[in-house]
Homo-oligomer: A and B are copies of this chain.
Amino acid sequence: MEKYQRPILTVDVVILTLTKGALHVLLTERDKEPFAGTLALPGGYLHVEEDMDAEDAATRVLASKANARNIHFEQLRSFSGPYRDPRGYSVTLAYLALVPEHEIPEGARLVPVADAKGLAFDHDRIVEAAVERLRRKSVYSSAPAALIASPFTLADLSNAFAAVSGVAPDPSSFRRKILAVGAVVPSGESSRGGRGIGRGAALYRLPDCGVMTFNRTF
């Protein structure tokens, strides 16, 4: 029917979260060849009978690794080529998920993104592309808010931006801008005494529309 062989097709999910002030990626140790014993991104095949599209498949993979609530999820891009998988010509559809740490089960393998090297297949590259995407988004969207637990203080959110972009925003400009564009909304309960020292801070959460874009820096 078709003149050309169909490549191997998979989905892979880059699950990013914030732990100990640094961006981490969730990895799993492969239990099968190829690359058995090596760290890799969670992923798998499309289940053509049950997945209505590739995003469904990626959501299924994600759900097996983290609670799928409060999650920012998007397509990253495809990676393809004859050599990335020793079994033959392959294509993977990579997805990016931003998850607060507490949604990730105990015992999951979280690796600082800077240390995510030597992974199976071309997963080093995929992680790199995901981190790059998140970095870019952090200058024109509230994406870093998806990495932390809700509700959060503006200080928490500022720290998330700092961890992603490498520079801490000016507190005054940050507050002004974030609140002006409505990128976060006040949570019902107001804070009081979280970390036990200093004045308590007001609590916020992402609005129902989730991560928002706006066109300026702070």
**Could you tell me the dominant secondary structure of chain A's interface residues?**
loop
What B residues does A7 contact at CB under 8 A?
6, 9, 46, 48
Taking residues whose C-beta sits less than 8 angstroms from the other chain, chain A's interface range is: 20 to 34
Say yes or no: A91-B93 contact (C-beta < 8 A), given A7-B46, A46-B7, A52-B82.
Answer: yes
Q: Which of A202-218 contact B (CB under 8 A)?
A: 215-217
Chain A, 76-101, contact with B by CB distance < 8 Å: what is the 0/1 string? 01111110000101010100000000
CA distance A217 to B214 in the complex (A): 11
Contact between chains at B8 and A45 (CB < 8 Å): no
Chain A, 3-23, contact with B by CB distance < 8 Å: what is the 0/1 string? 111111100000000000000
A residues lining the B interface (CB < 8 Å): 1-9, 45-48, 52-55, 75, 77-82, 87, 89, 91, 93, 139-140, 215-217
